[in-house]
Structure 1
């Protein structure tokens, strides 16, 4: 049961991330000529893949995957919405903050002793490394 709660918490973060990246990509598409969308699209796809992995795992464990990002998603939307108004750099910084928060959530989950080995493995080999890669991409875009 505890594993399902942890996975649903991580799933909420991933749902918030997909929503936020979708908004950012829409914004970048509207601002013609921004090359960042080529860099952000794979991150968006990776978050969608993480959502699928987590949903499948929760279902396999007999749980019900949450379907929305809850309060975190609402906060992410507000942050991204205001970032979109304030410009590209602010938008990228808000994405970066979200990625760092997501990485911290995965690291915290790994500290939980009750976490089963298959969940631990998914986080260690796939989800956390992807998150760290997203942070590196955003750092590069912000440094450019």
Structure 2
């Protein structure tokens, strides 16, 4: 029987990402260029959808899904609050680190031979490609801000 704890951890990461992107949107709504705002909003929506997808899979497999990001989310919000105070570049770096961690966590989950096929397919077809896309875009945005 597969232990849903690692999938629950992935869900908490997604919930944390939703919270962090919401903070970035709130902070930079008036200070960002249109492309940046579009990216932040799109990533926020994609993380919300990812969280919903993981919640659904956990429930399908008989688990109970969490509704909050837990200790990691609290820590991430503290870091993002500080980054927001430091400005756009710091906030984008925090977002990038979060996306990098998420990418690594999804890649690690795919190494689990007991990972249910439904969750594996979700990660392979939607969640991991979205993380990788977010990471590429954040790298481009940071290059532009630092130029």
Query: TM-score per shorter chain, which class?
Result: over 0.9
1:67 counterpart = 2:37: no
Partner of residue 78, structure 1: 78
Q: TM-score, normalised by structure 2?
A: 0.93
Q: TM-score, normalised by structure 1?
A: 0.95
* 1:34 corresponds to which of 32, 35, 39: 32
Cα distance in 1, alignment partners of residues 116 and 31 from structure 2: 46
Q: Give the deviation of 1:6 after TM superposition.
A: 1.9
Residues 38-117 of structure 1: matches in 2 within 5 Å? 38-117=38-117
Structure 2: unaligned runs, 5 residues or longer = none
Q: Is the 8 A contact 1:3 1:116 kept in 2?
A: no
Q: Give the deviation of 1:2 after TM superposition.
A: 3.1
Secondary structure at 1:2's aligned position in 2? coil
Deviation per CA, 1:7-62: give whole Å up to 9, x if none: 11100000000000000000002xx2411222211001000000110011111111
Partner of residue 133, structure 2: 133
Structure 1: unaligned runs, 5 residues or longer = none
Give the aligned CA root-mean-square deviation in angstroms.
1.0
Partner of residue 19, structure 1: 19
Cα distance in 1, alignment partners of residues 7 and 105 from structure 2: 10
**Runs of at least 4 residues of structure 1 off by over 4 A?**
none
Provide the aligned length of Structure 1 versus Structure 2.
142
